[in-house]
Structure 1
Amino acid sequence: MDDKEKQPVIRTDSEVSRDTGSVGSQDRPTRLPVEITDKGYALGEKIGSGGYATVYKATCSKMPDKQLACKYFDLTNNQQIVWREKCLKNELKIVRKHKHQHIVRTYDVFKTSHHAYIFMDFLANGSIGDYLERKKRPIDEKRAKKWSHDMLEALVYLHSKGVAHRDIKPDNIMLDNDFSDALLTDFGFSCCLTNNPSDRLMKGTICGTPIYSAPEVLSLAEGMAYDAKQADMYSMGVTLFEMLDYDKPFGNSVEKTMDYVSKQINRKYKFKKDVSLVAQSLCNSLLEPKPDKRMTSSAALEHNWFK
């Protein structure tokens, strides 16, 4: 059975599935703000939930041919004030402003004093993480090459605009309806520069998913900072390794952080599957433990694997 015939189990992007709170247990909002209904939007069944948001299928009478999803945030939880002031503020700003063919398209963003709503494309084939879970084997190299190229194009665009994603992983890379294109989603941990986008994006906050995080993020000392753009590239390397090998390069958990960092710094990984040397070369360049020697997004896009 090929991919078009096999219907996946639908999950949502990582922020929605991350178990960090209680918001995900809520029911569908019974009444939408008038500015939302005036634009023709309506919510359907719940398809995912987590610590900060719940995702619903959605429709819009003005776009009857579009399958939509709505990421809904309840802002009344006082325990989430810090997240609301930093992470949500950045996410809403980024999805409003930045559009790219390999970023899940956002149509409208609404925020009230108590709620926020992001209306975006619904992609029924799920994420690369879902794809790996269904197949239980590596992604064939031709397909992995295409999807990786798509992600690097998205990262080149974001990095050129002074934006770092900070949670690159298979669960945050969605697949279009015919499995041809990959699209980046979930900007809940993203950060951006307010001055010159070409500057290094130095951040002092540990965030993202540890098993995909760069060693400089996991070992961050108080008062120090890291280049978030280059940290994105390390996460892209872990993601690429998993696509090509099915297993993660340094194991499936981060139980002892400094032991895990030691494996990263000493490059304690090995491809167990048949992966071309040129693909391994790109992966090795992305998994460079020293940020200043790690490939940038634009350099990775020019790698020989893509030629």
Structure 2
Amino acid sequence: MTSACEENWRSELKATVRYDKIEKLSTGTSHKAAFAIETEAYNNSDSRATYENACNAILEYQVPRSEELGSDSTIPRSPGISIGQYTGCHHLASGLASEIYRSTTVALKVITETRNVEPHNAAREVKILSNISHASIVRLVSTFKDVEGRLVLVFPYMPLTLAKIIQTASVPESLIRVCFHDLLSALAYLHSNNIIHRDVKPSNVLLSSPTGPAYLADFGTSWHPTFSLNDEPADYKVIEVGTTCYRAPETLFGNRSYNASLDMWATGTMLAECLRKPPKPLFESRDTSEDGNQLGLILSIFKRLGTPTIETWPEAEAFSTPPFLWYQEFPGKSWEDLLPEVSEDGRDLIRGLVCYESRRRLSATEALKHQFLNSFTTT
């Protein structure tokens, strides 16, 4: 039950406090924009704590993040566009079926593809997000239709992604531990409910500050044991899932009965990328739209891990296109050679995630107990 203090927080907030917030915000943008940011935080927050968090998130992003992360991004000075009730919306990113905009304290996901192109399904994404709740999964605030009739999903705005941090050429190990502890917590929750995210990658790990916490986002291609069954039976799922170098090998060889271990492969490749110095993808892959992208990824995996055999990948014998008849055999490299600068604990966790046989991969719950993360959680 909401307390009277929480209900009356606006009347108890002194004007001098609000003015101080505006002055601090204006150090990274114009005074007019700072006023608009503070006003939206004031109007849209349901408590003093929410108001403080909204303002502080912007304050942390403006100057310290630009210096720490080598980014010149600040709050845009242009007026932006209006989307529904939200004004000052600025474009952040584009995807196959959506565009992302920011309006001060919220992010708007505008669905631009009116027809579902499986596995992209906006209605299913809304249903999944409306039926799950976890501290490390981005929260769906609301949905609405814009003037063009497009579906819009509203989320809390997060100023950083793990992808953006990777681009700085150095990821602090303390942040890596935070990000992957939060990511694995989210995946353990999803997998316990038989939900497969299917697009785990650095740009879908959002951060509220340079030190975390982290949130798993973008459920536009996720598989749900109930909501997905009409379009994708459990034994005949879409295999065109995942992004470039994070795609699991079972989808590359036609296994439509894959399970949640798909997410664990992607998590392991992402962890290896973050721990390498400088950060670099473990496997090479062209953009999904480019010819030969799948073959290039397969060859990259084989060259690093070795061409699989029935002994190293027994489940693949049942795939529609088994990988055992390739014209060239690659011996593969040891994890010590692949990741010489990574600690043994880090290599051991990656080894447990990035392996051909999906049944041998660590689950999210098991990975959470690994020494690499356990040493972080107990300090």
TM-score normalised by length of structure 1: 0.75
Aligned residue in 2 for 1:274? 341
Which residue identity does 1:122 align to in structure 2?
Answer: Y
Which of 223, 229, 242 does residue 191 from structure 1 map onto? Answer: 223
* 1:299 is the counterpart of 2:366: yes
Which residue identity does 2:272 align to in structure 1?
Answer: F
Aligned residue in 1 for 2:284? 251
Aligned residue in 2 for 1:104? 138
Which residue identity does 2:112 align to in structure 1?
Answer: D
Query: How far apart are the structure 2 equivalents of 1:10 and 1:93?
Result: 33
Aligned-residue offset at 1:165:
0.8
Say which is worse superposed, 179-188 or 45-54, in terms of deviation: 45-54
How do residues 103-142 of structure 1 correspond to structure 2 at under 5 angstroms?
103-110=137-144, 114-124=149-159, 126-133=160-167, 135-137=168-170, 139-142=171-174
Aligned-residue offset at 1:74:
3.1
Which of 154, 157, 161 does residue 193 from structure 2 map onto? Answer: 161
Query: How far apart are the structure 2 equivalents of 1:204 and 1:51?
Result: 16
Aligned-residue offset at 1:83:
1.6
Aligned-residue offset at 1:300:
0.9
Query: Does the aligned pair in 2 maintain the 1:151–1:182 contact within 8 Å?
Result: yes
Count of aligned positions? 263
Aligned residue in 1 for 2:269? 238
* 1:209 is the counterpart of 2:249: no
Aligned-residue offset at 1:129:
0.8
Which of 157, 170, 184 does residue 152 from structure 1 map onto? Answer: 184
For residues 21-56 of structure 1, give each alpha carbon's deviation from its aligned partner in whole angstroms, at most 9, with x where no partner exists. xxxxxx95x673xxxx4xxx4462222223321222
> 3-state DSSP class of the match of 1:232?
helix
> 3-state DSSP class of the match of 2:129?
helix
For residues 89-136 of structure 1, give each alpha carbon's deviation from its aligned partner in whole angstroms, at most 9, with x where no partner exists. 321212222222111222112358931011101112x21111111x21
RMSD: 3.0
Aligned-residue offset at 1:189:
1.4
* 1:290 is the counterpart of 2:357: yes
> 3-state DSSP class of the match of 2:299?
helix
Query: Does the aligned pair in 2 maintain the 1:219–1:261 contact within 8 Å?
Result: no
Aligned-residue offset at 1:242:
0.4
Say which is worse superposed, 43-52 or 174-183, in terms of deviation: 43-52
For residues 117-156 of structure 1, give each alpha carbon's deviation from its aligned partner in whole angstroms, at most 9, with x where no partner exists. 11101112x21111111x213x232221121111000100
Query: How far apart are the structure 1 equivalents of 2:133 and 2:166?
Result: 27
Query: Does the aligned pair in 2 maintain the 1:201–1:229 contact within 8 Å?
Result: no
Structure 1 moving runs of 4+ over 6 Å: none
Higher Rg = 2
Query: How far apart are the structure 2 equivalents of 1:86 and 1:280?
Result: 34
How do residues 9-158 of structure 1 correspond to structure 2 at under 5 angstroms?
32=84, 37=85, 41-42=86-87, 44-58=89-103, 67-76=105-114, 81-83=115-117, 87-110=121-144, 114-124=149-159, 126-133=160-167, 135-137=168-170, 139-158=171-190
| CA shift in 2, pair 1:122/1:207, >3 Å | same
Query: Does the aligned pair in 2 maintain the 1:74–1:114 contact within 8 Å?
Result: no
Query: Does the aligned pair in 2 maintain the 1:123–1:175 contact within 8 Å?
Result: yes
Structure 1: segments with no counterpart, 5+ residues = 12-26, 60-66
Aligned-residue offset at 1:210:
2.7
Aligned residue in 2 for 1:20? none
Once the two structures are aligned, what percentage of the paired residues are identical? Answer: 25
The one of the two structures with greater contact order (alpha-carbon pairs below 8 A, sep at least 6) is 1
How do residues 256-267 of structure 1 correspond to structure 2 at under 5 angstroms?
256-263=296-303, 266=306
Aligned-residue offset at 1:172:
1.0
| CA shift in 2, pair 1:157/1:9, >3 Å | farther
Q: Judging by fraction of residues, say which structure has more strand.
A: 1
